[in-house]
Structure 1
Amino acid sequence: MDAAEPDAALDLSPFIIVYKDGSIERLVGNEIVPPSLDPKSSVLSKDAVYSKEAKLSSRLYLPPGVDPDKKLPLLIYFHGGGFCVESAFSPAYHNYLNILVAEAKVIAVSVDYRRVPEHPIPVPYDDSWTALKWVASHVNGDGPEKWLNNHADFGKVYLAGDSAGGNIAHHMAMRYGQERLFGVKAVGVVLIHPYFWGKEPIGNEVHELERVLKGIAATWHLACPTTSGCDDPLINPTTDPKLASLGCSKVLVAVAEKDLLRDRDLLYCEALKKCGWGGAVETMEAEGEGHVFHLFNPTCGNAVAMLKKTAAFISGH
């Protein structure tokens, strides 16, 4: 590092560095790609503004061969990246949504939300809820976006996300369960390696390096400076007294054997089963894989299996 450069106040490499002068350096997730007609999947995408005030857009995806007289399930996706890196327009997410939309035969809205630390929680949650309300504005077929007016089945809405996006998807389902959205029926939620945590180490966390555990906790405190800690229901939903109000009838949680979040995510599944929610919980585990492996290697056997499981979950097969 050059001597003239400011000292780091918080170094969360390889993701983000926050310097003492307030400047921020994002080390990953900065590349973006435009919407397109994907040559491999034939999925068509385009961007649409969902909040003029905050200048926020989502990326919409439409599968090939759409029957104009047939409505498609609607998937609303929230990207990961510790709330602080990546975007809905990152190559990895654009590629994954193309693959998922083609396999599941859904119309999808990939939500871009403002990131921390410039916009601390609850801003990412509030932006995501604004996106959901924008989607709901199409239920009568007269919203601003023709794809949603013409092709979306608002009686079959699914919320999904990975890592921090999985955390967001859970909280959107919680908010939907308590507030609802007129004309929208959230059927299911897909959480891929969701970013949940807790104060006391459990399972595989007990044997992890202290600096790794501290890094995960520090990422949360960066995202939510006003948090009560790692047992805050926002990061540890097993402590949430309102968990039973989750607003859907089924949940699929994907975990990876070598992901440090694995046991935390399985604990969430157990909490859902015991809290009185009453829906169905499914889990699937990818052996030998790490956190969000499917984004880095989407064609590997485990990633394809997860893709097919997700598609089947959405189609009801």
Structure 2
Amino acid sequence: MGSNNDHKEVTFEFPPFIRVYKDGHMERIVEPKFTPPSSSLDPTTNVSSKDVIIDSKTGLSARLYLPQVQESQSKLPLLIYIHGGGFCIESAFSPLYHSYLNSLVAQANVVAISIEYRKAPDYLIPICYEDSWSSIEWVVSESEKEEWFKKYVDFQRVFIAGDSAGGNITHNMAIRAGCFDLKGLKIKGIALIHPYFAKELVGDEIGDVGMEREGKFWKFICPLTTGLDDPLVCPRKDRNISKLGCEKVLVCVAEKDGLRDRGWFYYQNLGKSGWNGVLEFMETEGENHVFHLFNPTSEKAGDLMKRLVSFINTSE
């Protein structure tokens, strides 16, 4: 029998995501607060939002965003956004992402859906990927039913974007989109903001201890994985990478981010893969991982926002 202290003894910790105890129970180190949608116009951005249930059986849900629109204007692009948080923390409904989506929707003048996928360790990978794909399929099925989609969305101009783990999921959704018919939904581009991919044997050397720890974490949240060479986190190992189902890709990295070289390596390898789309790259000097979420009013966060807005609104 375990001792009374087993529930206090930490056997594995991966800050700022999860903590595992000797008796087997787990906890998230950070639990996000819930921010309600803005049923009326958000006072700062004039963006409306509402929550929808995608699958009542699993509880899969999302938040929709609508900019202030004129009835006579043309239909708008759709942005599918996938939040970050190491597959374990954060939420589409947190203050951090609600505020960011309000700003992005207002500046890019797009309709958006922010996916609340189920998170590890309660729901182990690949659940987050399955939930994200189910959400995209839901968008297709609701294109003529959901009021905001039917009235305001041009389904020939769909973009997927995500940061950190959400950038990883975004890439994998584009791979699926290149392999399966989305029945009228056309993904024009994807934006990967400080994406998480596995450590490669280049660039940001983290040493054997760091590699072992990262591998242990990935194995913990994805028990059926082959390891850090899994195509889910190591795109160059994916035989379908050249089938990426979009016309253009924007990869954004930050100079001081430990994931910087991984994003650069992804950009290089995608360019060599045989995929024939347009590939763009942006590096923000002197900044760290997802700095734009924590300091959204800074000049460099503004520059990143402008680049993303331009990426969505430039037709070519």
Q: With the length of structure 2 as denominator, give the TM-score of the two structures.
A: 0.93
Q: 2: distance between equivalents of 1:190 and 1:71?
A: 21
Q: Deviations over 1:137-181 (max 9, x none)?
A: 133x2x2x2111211111000011000000111001000110021
Greater Cα offset, 22-31 or 49-58: 22-31
RMSD of aligned alpha carbons? 1.7
Contact (CA 8 Å) 2:6, 2:21: kept in 1 or not?
A: no
Give SS of 1:177's match. Answer: helix
Change (3 A) 1:267 1:134: same
Change in Cα spacing, 1:244 to 1:290, as seen in structure 2 (3 Å) is same
Aligned residue for 2:201? Answer: 201
Q: Provide the aligned length of Structure 1 versus Structure 2.
A: 310
Which consecutive unaligned segments of at least 5 residues does structure 1 have? none
Contact 1:238 1:267 in 2 (8 A): no
Matched AA of 1:185: K
Query: Which letter maps to 1:28?
Result: V
Q: Is residue 176 of structure 2 the alignment partner of residue 178 of structure 1? A: no
Which residue of the partner structure matches residue 92 of structure 1?
96
SS in 1 for 2:105: helix
Alignment partner, residue 279 of structure 1 = 277
Runs of 4 or more above 6 Å deviation: none
Structure 2 unaligned runs (5+)?
Answer: none
Give the distance between the partners of 1:215 and 1:42, measured in 2 at CA: 44
Alignment partners' CA distance in 1, 2:118 and 2:196: 17
| Alignment match, 2:160 | 159
Q: Which amino acid aligns with 1:124?
A: C
Residue in structure 2 matched with residue 31 of structure 1 by the alignment:
33
Structure-2 residue corresponding to 1:51: 55
Residue identity (%): 50
SS in 2 for 1:235: coil
Shift of the alpha carbon at 1:212? 4.6
In structure 2, relative to structure 1, the CA distance for the partners of 1:274 and 1:12 (3 Å cut) is same
Residue deviations 1:184-225 (CA, integer Å, cap 9, x gap): 000000000111013x4311x22x465554443333222211
Aligned match of 2:14 = 12
Map of 2:296 onto structure 1: 298
SS in 1 for 2:65: strand
C-alpha distance in 1, partners of 2:5/2:24? Answer: 17
The question of 1:106 aligning with 2:110 is answered yes
Structure 1 position 69, deviation (Å): 4.8
Matched, 1:230 2:228: yes
Letter in structure 2 aligned against 1:271: N
In structure 2, give the amino acid aligned to 1:168: I
Query: Would you say the 8 A contact 1:29–1:90 is kept in 2?
Result: no
Contact 2:125–2:221 (CA under 8 A) maintained in structure 1: yes
> Do the aligned partners of 1:243 and 1:277 also contact (CA within 8 Å) in 2?
yes
Once the two structures are superposed, what CA deviation does each residue of 1:73-129 show, in whole Å capped at 9, x if it has no partner?
000000000101111111111111011101100000000011111211111100111
| 1:256–1:291 contact (8 Å) kept in structure 2 | yes
Partners of 2:6 and 2:22 within 8 A in 1: no
**1:198-277 matched pairs, under 5 angstroms:** 198=199, 200-203=200-203, 205-206=204-205, 208=206, 211-277=209-275
Q: Does the Cα contact within 8 Å between 1:68 and 1:150 map onto a contact in 2?
A: no
Residue type of the alignment partner of 1:194: P
So what's the TM-score if we normalise by structure 1?
Answer: 0.93
Paired letter, 1:254: C
Inter-CA distance 216–43: structure 2 relative to 1 (3 Å threshold) = farther
